Structure 1
Amino acid sequence: MLNFNTFKQKSPQQRFLFILGLVMFAMYLALGVYLIFWKDIPFDIKPTYRIMFGGLLIVYAGIRFYRLINQKDN
């Protein structure tokens, strides 16, 4: 279960890094979804590899989000 007290970060640097982590998560997720559903990619790649790479990016985005949410205060 999520503990919302961990989201109360004290320093502006920690808040900035948290927002940057959320932005990077969103970018990886969007790139993975975009890569899976974009049919006319301007470079030559087989559809199987395109879907696998898109899925890998989505899984990586999930791992980044999990690590971002479960980070501990130092």
Structure 2
Amino acid sequence: MLLNDNGKQKSPKRRFLLILGVAAFVGFCILGLMIIFWDKFPLQLPSTQRKIFGAVILVYAVLRFSRYLKKSPDDEE
């Protein structure tokens, strides 16, 4: 079960948003890694630019997920 810090069960809305946030994080990580390592990826960029673009997507995924994990005052129930 997904529990809050105070031991209460999370609401269905919070649970859904957590699953959606994890899915987006995994999706962006996979996309970034595909751009970096897949040579036949249909993106016509030089190798260095492709690696930089993939790294930017990975950093975006981490920042997005870390912002989601921050607790906002509205979430207190």
TM-score (norm 1): 0.80
The one-letter code matched in structure 2 to 1:12 is P
Residues of 1 paired with 2:18 and 2:10: CA distance? 12
Higher relative contact order (CA 8 A, sep 6+): 1
- Give ranges in structure 1 of 5+ residues lacking alignment: none
- Give ranges in structure 2 of 5+ residues lacking alignment: none
Alignment of 1:1-74 (within 5 A): 5=5, 10-72=10-72, 73-74=75-76
The one-letter code matched in structure 1 to 2:37 is F
Higher helix residue share: 1
More displaced 10-residue stretch of structure 1: 63-72 or 28-37? 63-72
Q: How much has 1:71 moved relative to structure 2?
A: 2.6
Identical pairs, percent = 41
Aligned length: 71
* Larger-Rg structure: 2
Q: Give the 4+ runs in structure 1 shifted more than 3 A.
A: none
**RMSD between superposed Cα atoms in Å:** 2.2
